[in-house]
Amino acid sequence: MTNEHPELTALREGLRKSAPELPITELFPLFVPRSFFASGKWPGPYELLRLPGLGLTWAISQPQQTMRYVDRGIQQYWESQGIRWRERALMNMQMWSGEKLWTHEILGDNGRISSVAMMHSDGIGPSRLLFRDKLEALFPEGYLIALPEMSCGLALSATASATERRNFEEMVQRCFTKGTRPLVPGIHNPSLLTCLPSE
Question: For each successive 10 residues of the chain (199 residues), what is the average pLDDT?
Answer: 59 66 95 95 96 97 88 97 97 89 93 95 94 95 97 97 96 95 97 83
Specify the pLDDT at position 2: 53
Phi/psi of residue 76, each to 5°? -65, -35
Question: Judging by DSSP bridges, how do beta strands 66-69 and 113-118 pair with one another?
Answer: unpaired
Separation between Cα atoms, residue 159 and residue 173, nearest integer Å? 20
Specify the pLDDT at position 15: 60
CB-based contact 10:62 (threshold 8 Å): yes
Separation between Cα atoms, residue 50 and residue 173, nearest integer Å? 21
DSSP 26: G
Separation between Cα atoms, residue 25 and residue 132, nearest integer Å? 22
CB-based contact 29:58 (threshold 8 Å): yes
Specify the pLDDT at position 1: 42
Phi/psi of residue 62, each to 5°? -125, 170
Specify the pLDDT at position 66: 86
Question: Judging by DSSP bridges, how do beta strands 27-33 and 54-62 pair with one another?
Answer: antiparallel
CA atoms within 13 A of residue 19's CA, in its CB half-sphere:
15
Sheet holding 113-118, edge to edge: 104-107, 113-118, 152-157, 143-149
Q: Where are the beta strands (DSSP E) in the chain?
A: 27-33, 46-48, 54-62, 66-69, 104-107, 113-118, 143-149, 152-157
Question: Judging by DSSP bridges, how do beta strands 46-48 and 152-157 pair with one another?
Answer: unpaired
